[in-house]
Structure formats: C-alpha cells, structure tokens
Amino acid sequence: MRKSTTQKSSRKASKPSGDAIIIDTAIAYAQAVAAFHNGFKADPDGDMKNAAKLGKQQERIASVALAKLAIIAANSAEALDAKARLLPMILDDDAGGLEENSEAFYRAFAADVRRFLEPIVHEHWLAENAERRQKKAA
C-alpha cells in the first residue's frame, strides 16, 4: 500500500471542529465499508468464514461512524458534501434494506440540508419579493 503523499493537516492539535469530525468520520465509514466488502473478495474460503470473522472490526467501525454522523449537525458546505457522498455507499451497503443506523443518518442528513439551505432560500425569496414590489411600483 502506498503512503499518502499529502502534507499533514493544518488543523490545530486541539479538539477538531464539528465539521472536521464529520469529514473524518465520513472517511472512516467509507474506508471501513470498502475494507469489509473487499475482504470477502479476497477470501479464498468458499463459505467466507475468514472474511466474516476478520470483517467484524470493519463492520463495527462503520456502524459507530454512521451513528456518530447521525448526531453531529453539518454546519458547512464541506461537511454537508461529506455526508452526501456517503448516501450511495450506505444504500449499497444496506443491500435494499434499511438498517436503524441508516435511517437515523438519512433523517439527520435531511435536517442538515434543510438547515443549511434555509437562509439561502429565505434570501432568494426576499430578493424575488423585492423585485416584484419594484415592478409593481414602476
């Protein structure tokens, strides 16, 4: 495996912001799910006993990460984007079902999107109303 060539993060050594935690946790989820599924591809055992046993840790990491992401609100476009990128992965991982952690994540994500967009939509609405008033006055 090749080491990352990126420089160390410029984040302070102190407690990371909520958005940084979201981004890190989203990446941890994605990496854990990928490792879990690829472990099964690598297992030569026909009934996948090895992958199932070794995959428990990755499954636990993914589950904890998803639960954590469901309780931390995204406060930036970057954090919202990190959560949005997980949606297809979660749907694929659930294989057509809906797990409890996934449902909590979807509901939290929807709330994040609404909270993030509300001031933008409100500003747009105000601008449209001002424009209509100007046209009526003219």
Instruction: Write the pLDDT tens digit of every residue in 32-64.
Output: 999 999 998 998 887 788 888 889 999 999 999
Which carries the bigger pLDDT value, residue 7 or residue 33? 33
Domains of the chain, by residue range, sit at: 18-137
Residue with tokens 């994605």: 30
Instruction: Write the pLDDT tens digit of every residue in 66-78.
Output: 999 999 999 999 9
Alpha-carbon distance 116 to 1, whole Å? Answer: 38
pTM value surpassing 0.85: no
Q: Which two tokens stand for residue 34?
A: 């990928």
